[in-house]
Amino acid sequence: MSNAVATPPVDAGAGRTVPAERTGRTTLSMNQAINAALHDALAENPRTLVLGEDVGRLGGVFRVTDGLQAKFGADRVFDTPLAESGILGMSAGLAMAGYHPIPEVQFDGFTYPAINQLVTQIARMNFRTRGALPMPITLRMPSFGGIQSPELHSESLEWLFAHVAGLKVVSPSSPHQAYHLLRHAAQRPDPVVYMEPKSRYWQKGRVDFDEPGNLEGAHVARAGRHLTLVAWGAMVSRCLQAAEAAAEDGLDVEVLDLRWLSPIDADALAASISKTRRAVVVHEAPKTAGLGAEVSQLITERCFGTLKAPVERVTGFDVPFPSGSLENEYIPNIDRILYGIQRVLEYRRG
């Protein structure tokens, strides 16, 4: 890595190489789609670097960075010590020197030791310097639960990152979004926390390289008339399953994939809830002070006059994220989501 740091920053347009154009459609798993996005970001911009624990020769614990070091060399895809504060501190310095680092924190629960670097340095530097020192850092982290891993390997920290001014937060829910949202995030001049739903890494789906679609704001994953389920990350797939189950009872449920958790797309929320007039927010984090509270308040502010029932939240419980098979009792399942739908539909004003 010493060679890369010693190299002067490249001018914005100089030394840039464009990867072979990806066209058409293909079927990829989510981790393959992220790997493709990282490959193309590295090929496009010689200032882009990938760093983290075991991202190099091993290719990451989920093999998301597999083959990248062999293709681009150990100066651009490199392993770091087991020190998250060092990974993000190094990323801040690299960004100040003109690079575009894409660090990986191996599991979301490992981020806590690096909160100082993330909050007091990376999130604020662009504001402190009035844009003189932008922070084009895309922090990748396998996030949320669903794989029955040990403690601290499954968390749901979007509430924390979304609260930090200066950070953008995004979570894809499909391979198509995983590719295009990461490419989009890596081209931004400000820091983005890119939360990868680890339970969906092996989900396969179509990736359309020609039609990325709108990459800003929320996305309607399923249109409906009677109620809106609002979710992000892995919970989008679960909400789609719940919507299909509800359809058997004649209910037409819309699923709104929030995607960007900071900033939240309040206009898309208002448009969906104004149509269905009922809402259930689903997430894995604890209920108290979770991001669902902010989403619910935005809905209330924008749609109070049209709501037929209070916004319902189906969430994790107010306990530390459990490990192992206890995750199954903690993470919202289809039955809990359906019960939330039932509560909203049966609400009667006193």
Residue 8 maps to a domain = no
Inter-residue contact 227 to 278 (CB < 8 Å): yes
Tell me, yes or no, whether 73 lies in a domain: yes
We report the CATH number of the domain holding residue 75 as 3.40.50.970
pLDDT for res 152: 80
Q: What tokens were used for 249?
A: 């009872």
The range of the structural domain enclosing residue 54 comes to 28-208
Is the pLDDT at 212 greater than 50, yes or no? yes
Residue 213 falls inside a structural domain: no
Query: Do 55 and 159 reside in the same domain of the chain?
Result: yes
Q: Write down the pLDDT at residue 17.
A: 44
Angle (CA) 228-185-237 rounded to 5° is 30
**Residues 61, 148 within the same domain:** yes
Categorise residue 136: left if φ over 0, alpha if ψ from -120 to 50, beta otherwise.
Answer: beta
pTM: 0.92
Identify whether residues 204 and 229 lie together within a single domain. no
Q: How many Å is the Cα radius of gyration of the chain?
A: 20
pLDDT confidence tier of residue 19, bands split at 50, 70 and 90 = low
Q: Is residue 174 part of a domain?
A: yes
* Catalytic residue selected from 100, 153, 184, 219: 153
Query: Does residue 181 sit in the same domain as residue 229?
Result: no
Same domain, 246 and 196: no
- Is residue 154 domain-shared with residue 273, that is, in the same domain? no
Inform me whether the pLDDT recorded for 16 exceeds 70: no
What does the pLDDT look like over 35-87, one tens digit per residue? 999 999 999 999 999 999 999 999 999 999 999 999 999 999 999 999 999 99
* Residue 7 confidence (pLDDT) above 70: no
Q: 20 pLDDT band (50/70/90 cuts)? A: low
Question: Mean per-residue pLDDT for 170-199?
Answer: 96
Mean pLDDT score of the chain, rounded to an integer?
92
Both 158 and 260 in one domain: the answer is no
Mark which of 150, 173, 208 sits at the end of a domain: 208
pLDDT of residue 13 exceeding 70: no
Last residue of a domain, one of 154, 182, 208: 208
Looking at residue 9, its pLDDT comes to: 33
Residue 246's domain is classified under what CATH number?
A: 3.40.50.920
pLDDT in tens, 224-255: 999 999 999 999 999 999 999 999 999 999 99
Q: Are residues 224 and 100 in the same domain?
A: no
d(CA 111, CA 305): 41
* Residue 223 token pair: 């249109």
Mean pLDDT of the region 18-24: 67
Residue 221 has pLDDT above 90, yes or no: yes
Q: Are residues 128 and 34 in the same domain?
A: yes
pLDDT tens for residues 288-325? 999 999 999 999 999 999 999 999 999 999 999 999 88
CB 234 within 8 A of CB 200: yes
Give the count of domains, the chain. 2
pLDDT of the residue at 350: 58
Closest CA to 189 of 264, 133, 260: 133
- Residues 6+ positions from 131 with CB-CB distance below 8 Å: none
- Please indicate, yes or no, whether residues 46 and 195 belong to a single structural domain of this protein: yes
Confidence check: pLDDT of 2 > 90: no
Quick check: 217 and 266 in contact, CB under 8 A? no
Task: Let me know how long the chain is.
Answer: 350
Residue 10 has pLDDT above 90, yes or no: no
Strand bridging mode 227-231 / 253-257 = parallel
Does any domain span residue 17?
Answer: no
How many Å from the N-terminal Cα to the C-terminal Cα in the chain? 66
**153 assigned to active site:** yes
Q: Is there a contact between 158 and 291 (Cβ–Cβ < 8 Å)?
A: yes
pLDDT tens-digit map of 83-118: 999 999 999 999 999 999 999 999 999 999 999 999
What contacts 305, CB < 8 A, 6 or more positions away? none
Residue 201 and residue 53 share a domain: yes
Domain limit, last residue, from 208, 230, 247: 208
Q: Is residue 12 part of a domain?
A: no
Looking at the structure, do residues 94 and 174 belong to the same domain, yes or no?
Answer: yes
